[in-house]
Each structure stands twice: as C-alpha cells, then as structure tokens.
Amino acid sequence: MTEPILKVDDLHVTFPTEGGEVRAVRGINFDLAPQEILGIVGESGSGKSVTSLALIGLLPKSARITGSVVLDGYEMVGAAEKDIYKLRGAEIAMIFQDPMTSLNPVYTIGAQITEALLAHREMSKEEARAEAVRLLSLSGIPRPDEALDNFPHEFSGGMRQRAVIAIAMANNPKIMLADEPTTALDVTVQAQVLQTLQRALDETHAALILVTHDLGVIAGLAQRVIVMYAGRIVEFAHVDDLFYRPSMPYTHGLLGSIPSPTEDSDGPLRQIPGNPLTMVGELIGCPFASRCPMAQDICLREEPTLQRVTTNTEREQYSACHFRDDVSKAPVASMFLESEVK
C-alpha cells in the first residue's frame, strides 16, 4: 500500500458564537492516496468548507481545532503560521467557487502564472512565458498568447476558473483542493471547467479533493466519496457503491434530489423533507433521525458511529446508520415519498 499524502484523524472544529458553540466538524477521519480523486458531498452547512479550510490551515483564528491533519508527513494542526504557509504553497493548490478569491485583480493572468512557475521551477522568464502559454492552452483558453496580457476582469467566469486551474498546475502541487469549483457557472461551462480540472490532474499527477453539493459533478470524476451531514462523515464509499447501493438513508435522499436523466425532466426535483440541524448545543441521537423515513427508537437515543457495511463484501463501505446493512435492500426512495405525503 502506498503511504497516503494526507491523513485526517479525529478532526473537530468548533466556533464560539453569541448563540453558543457551533460544532461545525465533529470528529472526522480519512486518508487521501497520491493521485486519488476524493469527493466530499452534503447539504449546505454540513461542514464541507470548514473541513477543507482546516486541511489547509485557513480557518479564522476564532476556530478551535483539535485532532490531526498530516500533510505529506507534516502535522498542520497547531503548526506555526509560517510553516503552514510554506506547506500550503508547496503542496496544495486551492480552487474556490469564486475565482476572484484566487486571482489578483491588478496583475495580468500571464504575470500570475509566470510568478507561480518561477517560484516552483528553475526556468528563465522566456521559458516561463512559453510554459504559461502551454498551460493556458491546456486549460482550454482560446488564443492563449493574447490571453496572457489580459487582466482577470477581462475574462468570463468560466475562463477565470480555467485560469485559476492553470495557476494551480504551475504550482505543481501534490493535492488540488476544489470547493464548489463550478457552482457559480452555468451548466455547459461547468462541464468544460471539470474537463480542465481532469486535464490538470493528468498533467500534474496531483490528488484531488472535490467539494460540492452536486452529486452529478462527483459522479463524473471521483473514485471515493465522503458524504457529510451535521459535521460528520455519514457515508464513505466507492463512487459506484454510493450510487448503486447507498447505505445511509441520507445518501438516498441526496440521490433523490438530483434530476434523473431517465425521469420526466419537467417534473419537480424531489427534496429531502425537513431541514438540517443547526450545529449548536448537545446532540442526542442520529442528527438525521427527524428527517429519516427509516428511523426507529434507537435512532432518537444513540448517534450511530461510522462502521463498515458488512453486506458489501467486495469493497470497503462505511455508514453511520444503525441499519446500515439493511439500507441497500429497503425501498428508501419510496419511503421518502411516503413520509412527504404524511
């Protein structure tokens, strides 16, 4: 087995607020293998972004972080800011929903790519410019030679995101971390940006953590998927198992709330009834119980831990559900519909 490039162990993140402590992340564990593509999905507020920011040491100072995040052998939790800064630059490239968070509005696209290249590789300015043209072209930017002299505001949203990916490639990272990279873009542009992301992985051999609320995005790219709910991992599975034999009713609910290509596309998008919990104060029982069509008494009393699904004998699949071994056999989708009617 190859050594993971990232190891997350019992990570907790809490924010003190006037309304009480927000327990945004409540003990999560996972490894990322070199070149792996790992998806993180979940509804708004489930802790996806807080988890990602914790991985790169970018949480606000008010956040209380415990547990361990080991990046390429270095512990990030509790490390000095200057060390985190160095590690982050050398190891991880970030791609956020709004490309303007990553781009500097006062420098040309070309200047930003060549700066990254010169910081990470031995080359002359001329070589850096030629390489920048190649990376922009690889990112699908038309007329890359001219585009180098454009400022970010002269690009469309999709082109900006592709420029961010070109800069990420120039940094030659071991991990790319993309948080909702296509959410702000319209559907056709989304597909192009995802293609660019895939090309960037082929080019750099980086691993990818892809955070999104959109399971469609995950389906096309990821190998393994983490499903988050109320600050925890509630399912961790190979992407095929996630789609074809989910072992947590919440995952079923998420699958039901994406439009199916085989269903009448004019029909309403099904949704999971109810709202996610606010993460303040003590939690008793499974945080999904009040929305779950399979919930029993035990679910109201005891929060289930993440455990191996024993009925999947082919691959490791983990679920935080008291009934994890039964979920794939239960008609959960229709149970959701019935619970809506009630």
Ligand X SMILES: Nc1ncnc2c1ncn2[C@@H]1O[C@H](COP(=O)(O)OP(=O)(O)OP(=O)(O)O)[C@@H](O)[C@H]1O
In the complex, the residues that contact ligand X under the rule CB under 6 A are: 15, 17, 22, 24, 42, 44-50, 60, 213, 279
Q: Which does 92 bind (CB under 5 to 8 A by kind): ligand X, Mg ion, none?
A: none
Stretch that binds Mg ion, among 47-55, 78-86, 115-123, 261-269 (CB under 5 A): 47-55
When the beta carbons of 97 and 307 are compared against ligand X, the nearer one is 97
Alpha helices in the chain (DSSP H): 48-55, 81-91, 109-120, 125-138, 144-147, 157-170, 187-204, 215-221, 239-244, 249-256, 297-301, 324-327, 332-341
The tokens describing 223, both together, are 């190998």
Q: Which of residues 49, 102, 190, 247 is near Mg ion by CB under 5 A?
A: 49
Residue 251 binds Mg ion (CB under 5 A): no
| Bridging pattern class, strands 232-238 and 318-319 | antiparallel
Helices 157-170 and 187-204: crossing angle, nearest 10°? 10
167 binds, among Mg ion, ligand X, none (CB under 5 to 8 A by kind): none
What is the token pair recorded at 105? 């509005």
Q: How far is the CB of 12 from ligand X (least distance, A)?
A: 12
Alpha-carbon span 156 to 160, nearest angstrom? 6
In the complex with Mg ion, which residue's Cβ is closer, 136 or 210? 210
Q: Which is nearer to ligand X, 183 or 192 (CB)?
A: 183
Residue 255 binds which entry of Mg ion, ligand X, none, with Cβ cut-offs from 5 to 8 Å by kind? none
Nearer to ligand X, 54 or 136 (CB): 54
In the chain, what is the greatest distance between 2 CA atoms, to the nearest angstrom? 69
Instruction: Return residues touching Mg ion (CB under 5 A).
Output: 48-49
